Structure 1
Amino acid sequence: MNIDQGVTFQARVAKHAALADPARLRIVDLLTLGDLSPKELQSELGMPSNLLSHHLRTLEEAGLAVRLRSEADRRRSYFKLAPAALEGLVPGREHDARRVLFVCTRNSARSQLAAALWANISSVPSASAGTHPAEHVAQGAIEVARRNGLNLRDALPRRIDEVALDEDLIVTVCDNAHEELPGLHGIHWSVPDPLRLNNDPAFEDAFADISRRVHDLALRVRAA
């Protein structure tokens, strides 16, 4: 029997070894839904910070998780699944939802793109809102949507308190919105703000990140 002992095989061994620990498997299960700060993970898991740091470092070394610095508070960080981290593995729990509400600060780019992508692939209704909505949708978001077969020209930014329903599954796609709504029970995606650079590559990167996450989540959300 010829078993590949190369780099790819060793990477698989490292991932399986990392996931063999119940705490690390639980962390990865949580990260399949959204990004979490170490403090949020510590609250969820109820473990000492030094032990959590050990588990997170092991997941990083195994290529399962990536640390991101918060754009809102540079002292804060988030952990997300590394690209293709779970290829060949089945992710964790599913959600029932009447509607998915995507939220960012200005409701002018990321949340609008997420809602439009969701509406294109899922029968579960979607909406978007902002904590401090802009006057109009960003032109870069309109253009990247157009290049990818979506239409945001008639979309209007709206406040979260005008849109949110009690039964919504809320997904924050912005660090500022997530940190501004600390008691919110939902999912967080730490997507960099394309308006910081305000160019086509930044909007394409944000679109690709959101698209991947939307497609992954849509497989796990069932109509309530």
Structure 2
Amino acid sequence: MNDERSDGLRRRVSLHAALADPARLQILDTLSLGDASPSELAETLGAPSNLLAHHLKVLEQAGIVARARSEGDKRRSYVHLVPGALDDLSAPALRPAPRVLFVCTANSARSHLAAALWRRASDVAAASAGTHPAETIAPGAVETARRHRLELPQVRPQHVDDVRADGDLVVTVCDRAHEELDLPVDVHWSIPDPVVPGTPEAFDHALEEIGRRVDNLAPHLCPLATPANTTTAVPAH
């Protein structure tokens, strides 16, 4: 683990530890609406001043809150949230990626739906493939995409060996593909195969579950930066 990632993990641990108390979370909720003096916070929490002082000390040491002296009554101070202090609570970006490759067994439903949902959620390119590709996309996948107004390209399922490219971030969306795939997998989503029950409800459930996971992963990836001096070649006539 590199030093930068270690520092980030330690920062997140300290933030979670500082917030691991109902009273401190209540202080955070109160300050998210506006600044407050310690006495006002003590009244809101119904806590004695010495206990409030302890909670504020923990939050200050973690860099979550700070105090400023009142411009009116110089004996009074106000507590405020430090801007951006909680930004490190979320996991950092996994890495820039040229493309996300979704893999399932038949490349007939889950991987196609995942790629379609990804294109709607992220600027990172997406593709799909299978370990044992079927002849066609499952009609149930086509129908659930239509019901949810999701653009699903009508393409022939393809084998992962014919699609995978260097740099792809590989996401398996079924257990069988994950367990038999002979290449590194970055992320695995254990999504039940909707083709087995074959009902509209099964396909809708798969779409919903994949969509939730896409929404979780998309913010942590970004496209590869394009070099500033890159130009598009114009063919000679």
Aligned to 2:106: 106
In the alignment, is residue 187 of structure 1 matched against residue 178 of structure 2? Answer: no
User: Structure 2: 5+ residue runs without aligned partners?
Assistant: 1-15, 21-88, 225-237
Report the equivalent of 1:161: 161
Please list the CA deviations of residues 71-120 of structure 1 after superposition, one character each: whole Å capped at 9, or x if unmatched: xxxxxxxxxxxxxxxxxx62354321000000000000000000011111
Task: Tell me the CA shift for residue 186 of structure 1.
Answer: 1.3
* Pairing of 1:31-42 with structure 2 (within 5 A): none
Contact 1:111–1:128 at 8 Å: present in 2 too?
yes
Partner of 2:117: 117
CA contact (8 A) 2:100 2:126 kept: yes
* TM-score of the superposed pair, with normalisation by structure 2: 0.55
Give me the whole-angstrom Cα distance separating, in 2, the residues matched to 1:158 and 1:206: 20
Structure 1, 134-143 or 175-184: larger mean CA deviation: 175-184
1:98–1:223 Cα contact (<8 Å) kept: yes
What letter corresponds to residue 94 of structure 2 in structure 1? E
| Match runs of 1:60-75 below 5 Å | none
Q: Which amino acid aligns with 1:109?
A: A
Runs of 4+ more than 4 Å apart: none
* Separation of aligned partners in 1, 2:206 and 2:167: 27
Q: Secondary structure at the match of 2:144?
A: helix
Q: Which has the larger radius of gyration?
A: 2
Aligned residue in 1 for 2:91: 91
Q: Who is 1:174 aligned against?
A: 174
Superposed displacement of residue 182, structure 1 = 5.2
Instruction: Give the Cα separation in 1 of the matches to 2:125 and 2:97.
Output: 9
Q: Is the 8 A contact 2:96 2:222 kept in 1?
A: yes
- Identity value in percent: 54
Q: Does 1:137 align with 2:137?
A: yes
Q: Map of 1:1-16 to 2, 5 A cutoff?
A: none
Q: Which has the higher contact order (CA 8 A, sep 6+)?
A: 1
Q: Could you tell me which residue of structure 2 aligns to residue 4 of structure 1?
A: none
SS at match of 1:170: strand
SS of residue paired to 2:101 = strand
* Residue matched to 1:204: 204
Normalising by the residue count of structure 1, what TM-score does the alignment of the two structures yield? 0.59
Q: Which amino acid letter does the alignment assign opposite residue 95 of structure 1?
A: R
CA contact (8 A) 2:101 2:127 kept: yes
Amino acid at match of 1:116: A
